[in-house]
Structure 1
Amino acid sequence: MEFSLLGPIAVTTGSAELSLGPAKRRSVLALLLLQPNTTVPLEQLIDSLWEEEPPEHARTVVQGHVSRLRATLAEGGAEAYGIELATHGSAYLLRLPEELIDAHRFGELVALARPEAAPADAVPLLREALGLWRGPALTGTVTSPPFAAAAHALEERRLTAVEALGRAHGTLGEHEQAAAILYSAAVNHPLREGLIAGLMRALFHTGRQSDALEWFHRTRRLLNEELGVDPGERLRGAYEEILRAEAAGGGRTGAARPAGGARGTGGASGGTPSGGTSSGGGRYGASGDSRPATGNAARPVDGTGRAPVQGSADTDEAHGAAGAPGSDGTKQGTPAGGRGGSGSGSGSGSGRTGAPPRLLPRPPARFLGREAQLAALTTVLTDGTTGESPLAVVAGPAGVGKTACAVQWAHLYAGSFPDGQLFADLRGFGEGDEAPPAEILGDFLLALGTPPERVPSSAQAASALFRSLVAERRLLVVLDNARSSAQVRPLLPGGPHCATVVTSRSRLDGLVATDCARPVGLQTLGHEEGAALLGAMLGPERVAEDPAAARELVDLCDGLPLALRAAAAQLTARPRWRLARLAAALRDERRRLALLSAEDTGIAAALRMSVARLSADDARLLSALATSADGHLNASLAAALAGYDPERTQDGLDRLTEMHLVDEEATDVYTISTLTQLFARDERGEGGESDTGGTGDGS
C-alpha cells in the first residue's frame, strides 16, 4: 500500500487505486499523512477543512470522513501493512511505516544525494526523487490556507531538488543536461534566484554567454518591478563570475558538445524488458547520436527535472535540445506545426498559473529497442500538417509492452509538450470495472488547476470543459489500457497542438474510423531481441553461457516481454540455475504458466483479463481453438472444433483477432499462441468467467 501526496491524493495497493471519495475526505487523509504517527486534534482538522466559519455539524462531518477512511483502508488490507487509523479522544492518529508515503521517500532520497561531493551518485537519487512527483502537490484537497501552505512547502522542496540535480550535472561537466533541467523550472519560477543562478552558470558553460546574461537582466527587472528589491548574493555572484571569466578572455569554461556528438553510455543497458532490443551500440544506432532518427527533438527533459531512461545511449542533451533554451531563449524541438510557448502551462484564456501537470508514470526501466514503433509514434504525433490533434493507438496482445512503449515515447518527447503531460489508466483490461470517463476527466481537470468545486459532475460537461481548457495548449495525453473507442472519445483533447496516445489490446477500429487514429502495432520479440532482453535482466554473461537455451526460452515464452521478464525473475531468484534448467522446467506445459508468473504479475493474469472481457460464445470458441494440435487452423476447422455454423465462427474469429487473442497470418489462416492455448485449456469449461484477479497488461 502506498500513499501519494506529490500530485493527486491517492492510495494504491498492488495495481489498484482505492476510492477515497470527496475532496474533504481526501483532505482529512492528506492532513493525517502530513503528520504521520502524530495525533492530529479534531479542531485542527476542522480549521483546515473550512476556510470560512465551519458549520455547526463540522465535528460530525469530520468524524464521518474518518470512519469512511478507516473502512476504505481496511478494505485495501491496511492491517497487513501495519497501518492503523486510531482515535485518541478528540484527536486522530494515522499509524503507518512512513516509507509508504511518497513525500517521505522523496525527502529521504534528496537527503542522501550529495551533488557536489558525489555527483555521479546524486544524479540517479535526485532523478528517482523527482520521478515521484505526479503533478502539483496535494491536488484534490480543499483550497484552504493550511493546505496551500503545505503544498507550497512541498513545492519548495521539489525546486530545491531540481536545483541540486542541476548542480550535480554541472559538477560532472554535463552542462547541457543542467541547462535543460533548470530551464523549465526557471520559466515557471522566474523570481527564484538560486534557480536562475544555476541556469546562468549552465548556459555560460555551454557557450551561451548572451543567454546567461539575458536571464540575469530579465530577473533583475522582475525583482525590481514585482518586489522592489535588487538581486541577492547568489544571483549577483553568478553574474559577476560570468563577467570575470569573459574579461579574462576565458570564454566558456566547459565546451558544449556539438549536436549529434553526445557521448553514449552503453546503449543496451537502458530500458524496460517490455520493449524490444537495441541494435548497434546505442538506442538509435552505433554512432552514439543522441537524437531519434525520425524525431525533430533531441532527448527532452520534462519539467520535473527527470531525464527519461538512465543508462541509454542518449544520456546527454545536444545543443538546442527540447526543453533546453536555444540561443534566443525559446524552447527548441517542438512538434511540427506546434505553437511557441514559454512552457508555463498557462494556456490562452485559461487563467491558470503554476507548474504544468506532469502525470506520466516513471520512465520504464531497461527499455530496449522498439525503434520502429517509437519512430512511428514520432511521425504520427508530431505531424502538424493536418491542423488536427494527432491520435495514435498502440495495440497488441497482452504482455507485449504497449504501456512501456507509449510511456517511453512520452518521456522522450515530454519537452515537446511544455504545457503538461496527462496519464490515465482506463482499466479496460484490469480487475473490476473500467474507469468511467467522468472519473478520468475529473482527475485531468484537477491536475490542470480547476478548483474541485468547479469540476462538472457529468461526463459531457467535464469533457467540454477539458477541451476548452487545453484548446490552445501543447499537451500530451496518454490513455492506457482502453477497452473501447467509446471509452476514449470523451477524453480526447481538441486543440491542434495536443497529441494523444492510446494503448489497448483491441485494435479500436472505431477511433480509426471516426477520429482518424493511426494504429501502431506491437509484435512479439524474435530470438535475438528476446535474448538481448534476457541479457539486460540477468547480465549478458549468464545468457552467453548458453545461447541455445536462451533461444529456447524465447520460444517457450512466445516472445512476449512480460513472459520473458517473469522467466528472468525466476532465474534472478535462483542465481545458480543455468538457463537450460529453467527451459527444461518450462517444457512441462502443466507448469509453464505458473512458472511464468512473479507475485501478482504474469502471463496467466494478463490473459485472464483479456478472456474476462469476451462474450460467453467467444470464450467457448477460444477454448475450442486451444485444442488445435499446432495452433494453426482455418475457419472451417475452427467451426468443426467449436460446433458453430460458419458465419458464427467467422464473426467470432474476427473478434478474437481484434483482441489479439488470435492472429490472422493470411486470408483464412489463423494462429493461436502456445501460451494462449495453455491458458484456454486450463480455463476450459469456465467460459472465460473466472473471477481470479490479475494485473492486466503488466507492461
Structure 2
Amino acid sequence: MEFSLLGPICVATGSGELALGPAKRRSVLALLLLQPNTTVPLEQLIDSLWEDEPPEHARTVVQGHVSRLRATLAEGGADAYGIELTTHGSAYLLRLPEELIDAHRFGELVALARPEAAPADAVPLLREALGLWRGPALTGTVTSPPFAAAAHALEERRLTAVEALARAHGALGEHEQAAAILYSAAVGHPLREGLIAALMRALFRTGRQSDALEWFHRTRRLLNEELGVDPGERLSGAYEEILRAEAADGRRTAAGSGARGQGRDGADPRAAAGRVPEQGGAGPAGTHDAQAATSAGGTRQTSGRAVAAPRLLPRPPARFLGRDDQLGSLTDALTDRTTSESPLAVVAGPAGVGKTACAVQWAHLHAADFPDGQLFADLRGFGEGDEAPPAEILRDFLLALGTPPERVPGSAQAASALFRSLVADRRLLVVLDNARSSAQVRPLLPGGPHCATVVTSRSRLDGLVATDCARPVGLQALGHEEGAALLGAMLGQERVAEDPAAARELVALCDGLPLALRAAAAQLTARPRWRLARLAAALRDERRRLALLSAEDSGIAAALRMSVARLSADDARLLSALATSADGHLNASVAAALAGYDPERTQDGLDRLAEMHLVDEEATDVYTISTLTQLFARDESGEGEPGSDTGGSG
C-alpha cells in the first residue's frame, strides 16, 4: 500500500487504487499524511476544509469522512501494513510506516544526495526522487489557504531538488543536461531568481552566452512588471559574472592566447568566473541527517528503526591452513589508509585454488574492524546459469542495510548510488565472490573511505586494477608441505605420517589444488582402511583421476567445466590443442603449431587463457598447463563427470 501526495491524492494497492471519494475526504487524508503518526485536532481539520465560515454540522461531516476513510483503508488491507486510523478524543491519528508516503521517500532520497561531494551518485538519487512526482502536489484537495501553503512548501522542495540535480550535472561537466533540467523548471517559475541565475550559468558554460543574457533581461522585465522590483543579488551577480567572463575572454582572444576554444567543457577560466559557492540548504529535506550513527550495540537508526549491522559472511572455512603471505597481503591492501579511497583487493587464481576460503578467512579474522557490518554475495561469474546481475545483489545489500523493500530503486544505477550513499560514512566490509568481470563488480563497490572490498575471481580483473586501483593478491597451488598439512588436517596427522611419500605423491597428482586435495581426503575418509598409497595408485590412472577427485556436488572437473564454459570457441579449441602437449610446457610457436593458428591469433588466445588462469605464463613466452587441466581438456566426455556448480569453492 502506497500513499501519494506528490500529484493527485491517491492510495495504491496491489490490486489498484482505492476509491477515496470527494475532495473533502481526500483532503482529510492528505492532512493526516502531511502529519503522519501525529495527532491532528479536529478543529485543524475543520479550519483546513472550509475556507469561509464552516457550517454548523462541520464536526459531523469530518467525522463521517474519517469513518469512511477508516473503512476504505481496512478494505484495502491496511492492517497487513501496520496502518491504523484511530480517534484520540477530539483528534485523529494516522499510524503508518512513513516510507509508504511518497513525500517521505522523496525527502530521504534528496537528503542522501550530495551534489558537490558525490555528483555521480547524486544524479540517479535525485532522478529517482523527482520521478516520484506525478503532477502538482496535493491535486484533488480543497483550495483553502492551508492546503495551498502545504502544496507550495512541497513544490519548493521539488525545485530545490531540481537545482541540486543541475548542480550535480554541472559538477560532472554535463552542462547541457543541467541547462535542460533548469530550463523546464524556469519556464514554470519565471520569477524564481535563484533558478534563473543557475540556468544562466549553465547556458553560459555551454557557450550559449546570448541565451543566458536574454534570460536575465526577460526576468528583469517580469520582476518590474509583476512585482515592481529590480533583480536581486543572485540574479544580478550571475549577470555580472557572465559579463566579466566575456570581457576577460575577449581580452585573451585579442592577445592571441587561443584559450577560448577550451570553454565548452567547464574547465576554462570563463566557467570558473561564473562559479560561485552554491546556496546551502534544501528546505526540510535538505536538513535531514541521512547518515545515522552506529550505536555501541552494532545497530543503526534508519527512519526511526534500529537496524542491526548485517553479518552476511559464510561460516569460516573448515580446516583452513597456511596462506599466511596472502592473508598478510590482504591486510596490507585493505587497511591502507594513506589515501582517502576505499581499499579494494582482488584475490585471483585458478579454479579450485581456494580463493573464496582465503577471502572469507580474512574477513572473519578482521570482522571486528568493520563494526557496521560485513556483506557477502556470490556473483555466480563461474557457475551454471547466468551470472548475478548487479541489481539483484544491490537489492539484497540494501535490504540487509535496513532499506524497506518498497524503497529499493528499480534501476541498477539508482540502487548503486543509494548503496554508496548509505555506506559512505560506515565501516563496512564487502566480499564479492566469484566475479566474472570488472563491469559486474563496479556497481557493487561501496566507495566510502572507511569501507573495504574483497573480490575473488578466476580472472585477474585487470580492469579493476586499472580504473579502481585494486590491489591484486594472487593465489597459487599449494606446495608439497602445505598440501600434506592440509591432508593431515582432514585425515589426521597419524594417517599421513604412515606414508609421507604417498602424501607427497597425492599432492602432486592433485596439482596442489585445495579443492582436489579435499576431494581426495573425502575419498580416504569414506574408506578408512585404505592407505594413502592405494588412492595414489588409483589416481595414476589418468582416465579415472578427474572422477576420483570429485565429492558429490564439488570437484575439480565441475570447477574446470565452469571456466571453460566462459571461453570463446576459438580459445576453447586452443586450450584443447595445448592439452596435447607432452609435458605441459610450451611457447607461443609450439602453441600455434598445435592449434593451427597464426602467431598473432595464438598470442592473443594465450593471453586470455593466462588471464583466466587456465595456463600460467612462468616467464616471457614460457607457458605451462596443469595436468588436471590437460586431462579435462582432453576428455570429450567430461560433461558426464560428477559435480556441478562449485559456488564458493574458488
Shift of the alpha carbon at 1:554? 0.2
Superposed, 1:73-112 pairs within 5 Å as: none
Q: Partner amino acid for 1:526?
A: G
Is residue 2:310 matched to residue 1:357? yes
Deviations 1:244-272 (A, max 9, x none): xxxxxxxxxxxxxxxxxxxxxxxxxxxxx
* Structure 1 contact 396–523 (Cα < 8 Å) conserved: yes
Q: Which residue does 1:154 correspond to in 2?
A: none
Provide closer, same or farther for how the CA distance between residues 391 and 539 of structure 1 changes in structure 2, counting only shifts above 3 A.
same
Query: Cα RMSD (Å) of the superposition?
Result: 2.7
| Partner residue in 2 for 1:463 | 416
Q: How does 1:646-661 map to 2 (within 5 A)?
A: 646-661=599-614
Aligned equivalents of 1:561 and 1:627: distance in 2? Answer: 25
Q: Do residues 698 (structure 1) and 649 (structure 2) align?
A: yes
Q: Helix, strand or coil for the counterpart of 1:392? A: strand
Q: 1:556 aligns with which of 479, 488, 509?
A: 509
Equivalent of 1:399 in 336, 352, 358: 352
Assess, with a 3 A threshold, how the Cα gap between structure 1 residues 691 and 645 changes in structure 2: closer, same or farther.
farther
1:430–1:695 CA contact under 8 A, matched in 2:
yes
Query: Any conservation in 2 of the 1:553–1:583 contact (CA below 8 Å)?
Result: yes
Deviations 1:561-615 (Å, cap 9, x if unpaired)?
Answer: 0000000000000000000000000000000000000011100000000000000
Matched, 1:638 2:619: no
Closer/same/farther in 2, CA of residues 473 and 576 from structure 1, 3 Å limit: same
* Aligned residues of 2:591 and 2:602 also touching (Cα < 8 A): yes
**Contact 2:347–2:475 (CA under 8 A) maintained in structure 1:** yes
State how far apart, in whole Å, the 1-side matches of 2:296 and 2:431 are. 19
**Percentage of matched positions with identical amino acids:** 85
* Residue 546, structure 1, aligned to residue 499, structure 2: yes
Per-residue deviation, 1:355: 1.3
- Between 689-698 and 362-371, report the one with greater CA deviation: 689-698
The 5-angstrom pairing of residues 448-597 of structure 1 reads: 448-597=401-550
Tell me the alpha carbon deviations over residues 238-297 of structure 1, each in whole angstroms, 9 at most, x when there is no partner. xxxxxxxxxxxxxxxxxxxxxxxxxxxxxxxxxxxxxxxxxxxxxxxxxxxxxxxxxxxx
Aligned mates of 1:690, 1:533 — CA distance in 2: 25
Q: Check 1:690–1:143 CA distance in 2 against 1; reply closer, same or farther (3 A cut).
A: farther
Amino acid aligned to 1:490 = P
Query: Partner of 2:74 in structure 1?
Result: 53
After TM superposition, the structure 1 = structure 2 runs for residues 360-375 of structure 1, keeping only pairs within 5 Å, are: 360-375=313-328
SS at match of 1:552: helix
Q: CA deviation at 1:524?
A: 0.3
Q: Tell me the alpha carbon deviations over residues 595-640 of structure 1, each in whole angstroms, 9 at most, x when there is no partner.
A: 0000111000000000000000000000000000000000000000
Aligned residue for 1:480, secondary structure, equals strand
In the TM superposition, residue 342 of structure 1 has moved relative to its aligned partner by 4.4
Q: In structure 2, what is the Cα distance between the partners aligned to 1:644 and 1:541? A: 52
Report the Cα offset of residue 689 of structure 1: 13
The secondary structure found in structure 1 opposite 2:357 is: helix
Question: Which one has the largest radius of gyration?
Answer: 2
CA distance in 1, matches of 2:323, 2:298: 31
| Aligned with residue 430 of structure 1, among 383, 386, 390 | 383
Deviations 1:354-384 (A, max 9, x none): 3100000011111111111111111111111
Question: What secondary structure sits across from 1:477 in the alignment?
Answer: strand
Count of aligned pairs = 373
Structure 1 residues 382, 495: closer, same or farther in 2, change over 3 A? same
SS at match of 1:462: helix
Distance 1:143 1:538, change over 3 A: farther
Mapped partners of 2:590, 2:298: distance in 1: 57
> Could you say what secondary structure the match of 2:74 adopts?
coil
Counterpart in the other structure of 1:442: 395
Distance across 2 between alignment mates of 1:463 and 1:689: 40
Report matched runs for 1:98-177 at 5 Å.
144=82
Per-residue CA deviations over 1:116-148 (Å, capped at 9, x if unaligned) read: xxxxxxxxxxxxxxxxxxxxxxxxxx8659xxx
In structure 1, distance between residues paired with 2:436 and 2:349: 13
User: What is the SS of the residue equivalent to 1:353?
Assistant: strand
Q: CA 1:628 to 1:343, structure 2 compared with 1: closer, same or farther past 3 Å?
A: farther
Aligned to 2:10: none
Tell me how far apart the structure 2 counterparts of residues 350 and 658 of structure 1 sit (CA, whole Å).
45
Q: Is the 8 A contact 2:307 2:401 kept in 1?
A: no
Superposed CA offset, 1:511-539 (max 9, x none):
00000000001110011000000000000
* Distance change (3 Å), C-alpha of 1:578 and 1:343: same
1:41-65 Cα shifts (integer Å, max 9, x gaps)? xxxxxxxxxx963549x9xxxxxxx
Secondary structure of the structure 1 residue equivalent to 2:495? helix
Q: Which residue of 1 aligns with 2:626?
A: 673
DSSP-derived class of the 1:354 partner: strand
Contact 2:524 2:532 in 1 (8 A): yes
Distance 1:681 1:52, change over 3 A: farther
1:379 matched residue in structure 2: 332
The answer to whether 1:600 aligns with 2:545 is no
Query: 1:695, CA displacement in angstroms?
Result: 2.1
Specify the code of the residue in structure 2 equivalent to 1:695: T
Separation in structure 2 between the aligned mates of residue 514 and residue 586 of structure 1, nearest angstrom: 44
What is the CA–CA distance in structure 2 between the aligned matches of 1:410 and 1:471, rounded to whole Å? 20
Secondary structure in structure 1 of the residue aligned to 2:415: helix
Offset from partner CA, 1:480-522 (integer Å, 9 cap, x none): 0000000000000011000000000000000000000000011
The Cα shift of 1:400 comes to 0.4
Answer yes or no: is the 8 Å Cα contact 1:348–1:472 preserved in 2. no
Query: Given the superposition, is the C-alpha separation of residues 682 and 376 from structure 1 closer, same or farther in structure 2, using an over 3 Å criterion?
Result: same
Unaligned runs of 5+ in 1: 1-22, 25-50, 59-141, 146-339
Output the CA distance in 1 between the equivalents of 2:571 and 2:76.
56
Q: Distance in 2 between matches of 1:523 and 1:393?
A: 14
Output the amino acid matched with 1:698.
S
- Mapped contact 2:554–2:644 kept (Cα < 8 A): no
CA distance in 1, matches of 2:81, 2:540: 59
* Matching residue's letter, 1:386: T
Structure 2: runs of 5+ lacking an equivalent: 1-12, 15-71, 84-292
Query: 2:37 — aligned with what?
Result: none
Maintained 8 Å contact 1:483/1:506: yes
- Supply the distance in 2 between the matched residues of 1:604 and 1:144 (Cα, whole angstroms): 52
TM-score, normalised by the number of residues in structure 2: 0.55
Seen in structure 2, the aligned counterparts of structure 1 residues 388 and 689 have a Cα distance that, compared at 3 Å, is farther
- Write out per-residue CA displacement over residues 184-230 of structure 1, whole angstroms, 9 at most, x where no aligned residue: xxxxxxxxxxxxxxxxxxxxxxxxxxxxxxxxxxxxxxxxxxxxxxx
Residues 143 and 447 of structure 1: is their aligned pair in 2 closer, same or farther, counting only changes over 3 Å? farther
Instruction: Give the CA deviation at 1:347.
Output: 6.1
* SS in structure 2 of the partner of residue 378 of structure 1: helix
CA distance change for structure 1 residues 536 and 52 in 2, over 3 Å: closer, same or farther? farther
The equivalent of 1:6 in structure 2 is: none
| Contact persistence 1:368–1:533 (CA under 8 A) | yes
Distance 2:303 2:571 in 1: 47
Q: In proportion to residue count, which structure has more helix?
A: 2
Counterparts in 2 of 1:218-367, with a 5 A limit? Answer: 342-344=295-297, 353-367=306-320
